């Protein structure tokens, strides 16, 4: 048996699995393609800094997205619209430095690829050269296929993103996409367009579960769901949402696995009370 055909069979020891595998080298887009052939589901999280990313890397998260959600989750903006290439490049470089195994995907921010394929290539090249990302992501299906094609032809793997595309909040709002026959057909056309253009995976955001399941069956590239039901090949969440750090309302598709806001708030109050009450620092925290 050749190595290639061996890679197509489900690994009994999990050595090749994207999650739970024993590999230590960085995950590649080829590993992602093989996981779809094995029918293996995988987790993806956003990350915006080196320390947090190193926690996720050690936990075995195989793919991290330096999302433009950094705008609201890390930089304090209201929406993802204002975040810049300079900001995304700095955050992406930090996440790459904090990880050794995960494939790092850099989100192209609003305004960095809408002018056309050449602008998209210039922006994506910056993330690859200056930050060291292994792939980039951009929003849009049919409307972005020329950008995707040029990046892929140039050697930059592209994750597409269709359904709710938050960079279009000013024209679309934050609404479920693909409801009704006409919208479902558009979503299917968008999915096929990004696959034909060479995308290695596609994010489906806020899409009815049945439609996301159909897209996942029809495509040979993996689908990454966020608010898209249980049938997509992968699932992504914004890390500050799933760990309970985001302030205020979070989207209803979020499952909260911890309450870091409470944990951190309580710890910070304990420190403040120690300082005010004179019980920190003690002799053990002092030098003589």
Ligand X SMILES: CC(C)C(=O)C(=O)O
Q: Which residues bind ligand X (CB under 6 A)?
A: 46, 65, 67-69, 107, 161, 203, 205, 226, 236, 238
139 is catalytic: no
Interatomic CA distance for residues 62 and 188, integer angstroms: 27
| Six token digits for residue 248 | 């205020």
Catalytic residue among 40, 87, 139, 205: 205
Stretch that binds ligand MHF, among 54-62, 98-106, 170-178, 277-285 (CB under 6 A): 170-178
Interatomic CA distance for residues 68 and 192, integer angstroms: 24
Query: Least separation, in Å, of the C-beta of 138 and ligand X?
Result: 10
Grouping H, G, I as helix, E, B as strand and the rest as coil, residue 244 is coil
Hey, how many other C-beta atoms are within 10 angstroms of the C-beta on 265?
11
CA distances from 63 to 19, 99, 174, 285 (A): 10, 10, 25, 39
Name which of 104, 106, 102, 95 is nearest 136 in CA terms: 106
Stretch that binds Mg ion, among 7-15, 101-109, 143-151, 279-287 (CB under 5 A): 101-109
Q: Which of 75, 176, 183, 209 binds ligand MHF (CB under 6 A)?
A: 176
| Six token digits for residue 223 | 């689908």
User: Applying CB under 6 A, does 165 fall inside the site for ligand MHF?
Assistant: no
* Pairing, β 158-163 against β 103-107: unpaired
User: Applying CB under 6 A, does 103 fall inside the site for ligand MHF?
Assistant: no
Query: Least separation, in Å, of the C-beta of 197 and ligand X?
Result: 18
List the catalytic residues: 205
Residues that bind ligand MHF (CB under 6 A): 69, 72-73, 80, 164, 166, 174-176, 206, 238, 241, 246, 250-252
């Amino acid at each position: 048996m050749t190595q290639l055909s061996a890679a197509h069979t489900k690994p009994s020891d999990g050595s090749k699995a994207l999650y739970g595998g024993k590999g230590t080298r960085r995950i590649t887009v080829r590993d992602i393609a093989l996981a779809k052939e094995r029918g293996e589901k995988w987790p993806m999280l956003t990350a915006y800094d080196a320390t947090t990313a190193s926690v996720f890397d050690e936990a075995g998260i195989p793919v991290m997205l330096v999302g433009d959600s950094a705008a609201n989750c890390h930089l304090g903006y209201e929406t993802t619209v204002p975040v810049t290439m300079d900001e995304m490049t700095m955050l992406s470089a930090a996440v790459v430095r904090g990880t050794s195994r995960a494939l790092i995907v850099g989100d192209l921010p609003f305004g960095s690829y809408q002018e056309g394929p050449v602008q998209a290539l210039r922006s994506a090249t910056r993330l690859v050269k200056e930050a060291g990302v292994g792939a980039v992501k951009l929003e849009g299906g049919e409307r972005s296929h020329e950008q995707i094609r040029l990046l892929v032809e140039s050697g930059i793997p592209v994750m597409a993103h269709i359904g709710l595309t938050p960079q279009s909040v000013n024209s679309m709002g934050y609404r479920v996409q693909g409801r009704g026959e006409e919208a479902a057909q558009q979503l299917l056309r968008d999915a096929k367009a990004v696959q034909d253009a060479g995308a290695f995976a596609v994010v489906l955001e806020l899409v009815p579960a049945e439609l996301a399941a159909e897209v996942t069956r029809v495509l040979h590239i993996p689908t990454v769901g966020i608010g898209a039901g249980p049938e997509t090949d992968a699932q992504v969440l914004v890390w500050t949402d799933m760990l309970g750090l985001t302030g205020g309302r979070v989207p209803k598709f979020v499952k909260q696995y911890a309450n870091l806001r409470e944990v951190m708030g309580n710890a910070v109050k304990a420190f403040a009370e120690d300082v005010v009450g004179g019980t920190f620092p003690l002799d053990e925290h002092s030098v003589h």
